[in-house]
Structure 1
Amino acid sequence: MSEQTPRAPQGAEHAVLEEQIDQWRGYVQRRRAITPADVDEMEDHLRGQVADLTASGLEDDEAFLVAVKRMGNLDEVSREFAREHSGRLWKQLVLVPEEAGENGRWRELGVVLALAVASGIWVKILLDAAGTDELVLVRNAVFAVLPFLAGYFAWKRRVPWGVSAVLLAATAALALVVNLYPFVEGPHGDPGMTGFLAISHTPVVLWLLLGVVYAGGAWRSGPRRMDFVRFTGELIIYLALIALGGGLLIGLTFGTLSLVGVDFEPFLGEWLLPFAMPGALLVGAWLVEAKKNVVENIAPVLTRVFTPLTIVMLVALFVALLVNGPLTAVDRELLILMDAILVLVLFLLLYSISARDPLAPAGIFDWLQLVLVGAALAVDAVALTAMLTRIAEFGFTANKVAALGLNLVLLVHLVWAAWLNLGFARGRRPFADVERWQTQYLPVYGLWAAIVVVAFGPIFAFA
């Protein structure tokens, strides 16, 4: 490796430049043909170019853009590395890449499997303790799985003990709230309104706390937050593949054993599923970490396929809501479903942003995303109007306030996202502004979910 160029000063006047280089480095690291050593060498070269350009009188922003342009198209650079190191790509597709260190990779897999078994044991204990009271299992299943996934990332990222202690205390507090609050149960032993809200919003809070662990405790870092968004999307893809393969194997096993008179169902429910579900989550997370960028090539395709389809769905939903009677007649379940659709749209938007080349100019797909955000805003406006109308006529309930709050949080997010996307598509704003807004706003969802979990029970008398 060449002699390293001294890093630029870290003062406030260079903060924007450092953030731009951090974003550039993150994108380069996701190129499959380029190793960390290659990235270091490329960054040294980039910093040298920036230093020369700033010395000649250019501002940091101008120097960065010119230097990146001189570096060339990253896809072309990646292909060039692939041609030069053709064996490297194949090594990255096997279970244990040599460049990562064979012992280290197997050690990491061993840690993941040990945590998966420990999580499965905890789920099994919880299942036996719950007995016929399924509500106990529903309340605590997330606490039996996500802390073990957090433990994996805390070990891998070497999260400081202070940060780990704070996150563990927050998780314990949520567990106490969900289990000790005197929620009123429904007539069939199901959770009441505030109990259901607490149970459904707890995973949101825990997942965002997991994001702090994933970022190695650097929760203020926008690029690391976007990495967590990218991780979430890739994990969903891996889990879908694992579920399809696992479901097929279970189905074939069940059918084969039933033909020979063996009842497979007790073993499936009491032993296999309690270990399989947390195991799939942990192994899926390990695969995302071990095979970074294998799924990344699929991500742009998925976003380009589902974005126009989602726009069509949103437009159809918007028209159906407007032509089917007064808004007061809109069914409560339909409003809940609309919220779920809007959250899905938001995730699609975040994932497409995380998969995009931040240095590429605006194109037709950016305008298509702007249409997606506009359609989501139209549906959100109708949903808000329907909720306010129902509240005015029938009064406040915990469900209505929770849905209203979520829609207001979504409205703020989507309005400013639309404004920033419009500015970028018209060439008046850098893409970094669009990306920064998405990552900065994510904690708001965690804050609102925490309010629903902790405060709604006392406010609405735990009904």
Structure 2
Amino acid sequence: MTGNDTELEAQIAEWRAYMLRRRAVSGADVDELEDHLRERVADLTETGLRPDEAFLIAVKRMGRMDELSREFAREHSDRLWKQLVLTDEDASAAAERRRGLLVMVACAALAVLAVKLPALFGLGLDDDPAFYVRNLGLLVLAPLAVYFAVRRKVHRGTVIALVGLFALGAVATNAYPLDEDSQSIVLTSIHLPLALWLVVGIAYAAGEWRSGQKRMDFIRFSGEWFIYFVLICMGGGVLAAITVGTFNAIGIDAEVFISEWLVPCGGAAAVVVAAWLVEAKQSVVENMAPVLTRVFTPLFAVTLVAVLVAIAVTTNAIDVERDMLILFDLLLVVVLALVLYSISARDPGAPAGFFDWMQLALVVSALLIDVLVLVAITGRITEFGFTPNKSAALGENLVLFANLAWTAWLYWSLVKGRKKFARLERWQTDYVPVYAAWAWVVVLVFPPLFAFA
């Protein structure tokens, strides 16, 4: 047993003694909590953290589910924080961090290569934009899957599954005869990245996709990845503007470099870099999820209520043309993502409060808008028949309706004290495969079903 292992066992022993001493808790309950703690520590050490760091973060996260762990973290916060910040890294931990950085750099370079290599075969951004419309998600997400596969040391069976699913997406998007102005190519370009993002989730979970905890961790990762990606893109936009202005000042046109190299290559690399930043941030005890959800949940709730009031006052029906369908579906997806992110950030052991009522209002408002969209889509299909766009929108809104309806019921039961938060969390993690299945149906089945129109 190494020194780190000995120290970790001592920390767990102290935690266990605390649990048994403070309250009348059975040994079996403490054993169950200890198993959960060890599982979290193991997951965190696989990302490159030292065992003592992993223990501190695991205790902090368990404090969201268990009051005793929360008290332990609170009473030991000063000592634990100093230990986290001031303890020197051992050689193996430092080496693992360097390895993680090298893997990130290599996968980011692979992403850059993926978006520029097709140009050597006459498939540049200007030569064949339809190729990038179909394949952009494939090109930038495959290196991200490689990053997690290497970092998590996934088993051969998981690697085969990942390769097979990405190959399936590549065949579907390139073998089908999709015209540039067809509805099918638009649907494929939207749904293939979603399907492949959930494939990345399999790599993130090291193949343990059946674990509800792993799925919730991936949901939390997705939200934080999006935040980092947006921040990187904003910084990249500033860099591009400064570059153009600076070179224009000396009589050199840099727009070609910006459009053909900086933007596509930087965006592709940012997909991997953002993931690495999320992983590196795990050594920080607090995260940004609670703050963001409490800022945006009221704003979106007010916006949706305003939309419903406007529809009621004006009696205007929802426009179900393609652009409007995409807009309303995007709104519902953003609301659902906000709900998922809020659930991932909520303290499971906390009693229902005002914020849960706000979440319920948000979900109910989104549900009502979804019903109005479904009514409008059904009316247009009845009048004009099925098209790829309307059929996809109908299916997506039905999928969202099922989730939102049951989520609203679970939130209502939560605020009334009838059900525990764990039921709501489990429902969301169990529903993730439904989104993946629907995305693959649109990519694989819809084009031939509608004669590639």
**TM-score, normalised via structure 2 length:** 0.84
The answer for the alignment partner of 1:117 in structure 2 is: 109
Partner of 2:5: none
3-state SS of the aligned residue for 2:251?
Answer: coil
Q: How far apart are residue 98 of structure 1 and its match?
A: 6.0
Give the match for residue 123 of structure 2: 130
Hey, what does 1:250 align to over in structure 2? 240
Q: Which residue of 2 aligns with 1:147?
A: 142
Q: Counterpart amino acid of 1:153? A: F
Q: CA deviation at 1:39?
A: 6.6
Match in the other structure for 1:378: 368
Give yes or no for the alignment of 1:448 onto 2:441: no
- Paired position in structure 2 for 1:101: 93
> Equivalent of 1:431, from 405, 421, 429?
421
Map 1:217-296 → 2, pairs under 5 A = 217-292=207-282, 294=284, 296=286
- Please, which moves more after superposition, 117-126 or 451-460? 117-126
8 Å contact from structure 1 (residues 91, 97) kept in 2 = no
Alignment of 1:69-80 (within 5 A): 69=67, 71=68, 74=70, 77-80=72-75
Say if 1:334 and 1:29 are closer, same or farther in 2 by CA, change over 3 A.
same
**Residue of structure 2 in register with 1:62 after alignment:** none
Asked if structure 2 preserves the Cα contact closer than 8 Å seen for 1:28 and 1:39, the reply is no
From 30, 36, 47, the equivalent of 2:54 is 36
Which region of structure 1 is more displaced relative to structure 2, 414-423 or 76-85?
Answer: 76-85
For residues 447 and 345 of structure 2, the distance between their equivalents in structure 1, rounded to whole angstroms, comes to: 39
Question: Displacement, 1:417?
Answer: 0.8
From 159, 165, 174, the counterpart of 1:164:
159
1:110 alignment partner AA = L
Asked if 1:198 is matched to 2:193, the reply is: no
Distance in 1 (alpha carbons) for counterparts of 2:75 and 2:244: 49
Label 1:312 to 1:265 Cα distance change in 2 as closer, same or farther (>3 A).
same
Contact 2:108 2:272 in 1 (8 A): yes
AA matched with 1:251: A
Counterparts of 1:255 and 1:42, CA distance in 2: 47
8 A Cα contact 2:41 2:58, kept in partner: no
TM-score (normalizing by structure 1) = 0.83
* Count of residues in correspondence between the two structures: 421
2:173 is aligned with 1:178: yes
Cα distance per residue 1:388-439 (max 9 Å; x no partner): 1111111111111100000000010011111111111112211111100000
CA RMSD of aligned residues (A): 3.2
Check whether the contact 1:314–1:375 (CA below 8 A) recurs between aligned residues: yes
Residues 21 and 102 (structure 1 numbering): CA distance in 2 closer, same or farther, change over 3 Å? closer
Once the two structures are TM-superposed, the CA of residue 225 in structure 1 deviates from its matched residue by: 0.2
The 1:106–1:415 alpha-carbon spacing in structure 2 relative to 1, beyond 3 Å, is same
Equivalent residues in 2 for 1:312-323, closer than 5 Å: 312-323=302-313
Distance 2:300 2:92 in 1: 39
Change (3 A) 1:435 1:110: same
Distance change >3 Å, CA 171–CA 86, structure 1 → 2? closer
2: CA distance, partners of 1:436 / 1:447: 18
Instruction: Tell me by how many angstroms 1:147 deviates.
Output: 1.0
Q: 1:174 to 1:42 in 2, by over 3 A?
A: closer
Deviates most, 317-326 or 394-403: 317-326
Question: 2: distance between equivalents of 1:99 and 1:366?
Answer: 46
Gapped runs of 5+ residues in structure 1? 6-13, 47-64, 187-191
CA distance in 2 between counterparts of 1:108 and 1:409 reads 38
| Structure 2 counterpart SS, 1:292 | helix
Distance change in 2, residues 1:230/1:388 (3 Å) = same
Q: What amino acid does structure 1 have at the position aligned with 2:239?
A: L
In 2, the alpha carbon distance for the partners of 1:23 and 1:40 equals 6
Contact residue 34 and residue 81 of structure 1 kept, 8 A: no
Where 1:318 maps in the other structure, the secondary structure is: helix
Alignment CA distance shift 1:23-1:442 (3 Å)? farther
Answer yes or no: is 1:411 the counterpart of 2:404: no
Structure 2 CA distance, aligned partners of 1:231 and 1:39?
16
Q: 5 Å matches for 1:325-336? A: 325=315, 327=317, 331-336=321-326
Q: Kindly state the Cα deviation for residue 330 of structure 1 after the two structures are TM-superposed.
A: 5.1
Counterpart of 2:375 in structure 1: which amino acid? T
Amino acid at match of 1:173: L
Distance 1:105 1:175 in 2: 33
Identity rate of aligned residues, in percent? 45
Residues 439 and 19 (structure 1 numbering): CA distance in 2 closer, same or farther, change over 3 Å?
A: farther
